[in-house]
Chains A and B, each alone.
Chain A
């Protein structure tokens, strides 16, 4: 029961804030809604017993990536409205239709697979997923089974860092 209340509240918040992100005319407001959306997703992770990911979501997404967006919004000080010009060849209707198709397809998948995914045990009976230390087990997996993806991800971050610095630097 408690989980149901938490889920529906969070789902409404997440979807509402998501709609707000893509419909608000002011970019700064969009960024604020995005932060709130990510915080709600973090709470949803806590409901799903992924405490470490919830904290990382807040730390990396809300505290890092979105601050970057806010910075860029402030640096990109526009003299005219960003959406003033429209490409005459732009196919916005087709875009909406395609998004509708994606939604339909996802709905189809959900309906088709409903009931076919059998949980390993009933969620109500399942205790804490990982006992005391979600963080320890995740770290253990990252450094054993997923060591190579982990290293690749760190190289990717390094490349991104160098790339961002090269791109953002003014030519002297």
Chain B
């Protein structure tokens, strides 16, 4: 039973799809943010696995950047969410439509 890069790719794809489903189906913005984090993690798994099997550390370097971007995204996203919540008392994405048209 040898574990090949394909195994990791499948795991990563499945996790990514879970994230996509979360973003498209849930209406609570906090859950949607968390689903986005799941997708970023799926990408990271892929990068680390291939960094190992191709014996090239570039993949790991990119994971560092992805984590940095995820941290920035979480800080700003949650900041926007809190500012919005103060005005409209909701975290439902269907009610966040004041800028839509």
Q: Which residues of A are interface residues toward B (Cβ below 8 A)?
A: 1, 3-4, 7, 11, 14-15, 18-19, 21-22, 27, 30-31, 34, 37-38, 41, 44-45, 48-50, 52-53, 56-57, 60-61, 64-65, 68-69, 72-73, 75-76, 78-79, 82-87, 90, 92, 95-96, 98-99, 102-103, 106-107, 109-110, 113-115, 117, 119-121, 123-124, 126, 129-130, 137-138, 141-142, 145-146, 149-150, 153-154, 156-157, 159-161, 163-168, 170
Contact = CB atoms under 8 A, between A and B. Distances in A.
Contacts, number: 245
Given A60-B67, A76-B82, A119 B45 contact: no
Nearest to B17: A103
Contacts of A69: 30, 33-34, 74, 78
Nearest to B56: A120
13 contacts: A1-B1, A21-B18, A44-B48, A48-B48, A48-B52, A50-B63, A72-B30, A82-B27, A102-B20, A103-B14, A138-B60, A156-B68, A160-B72
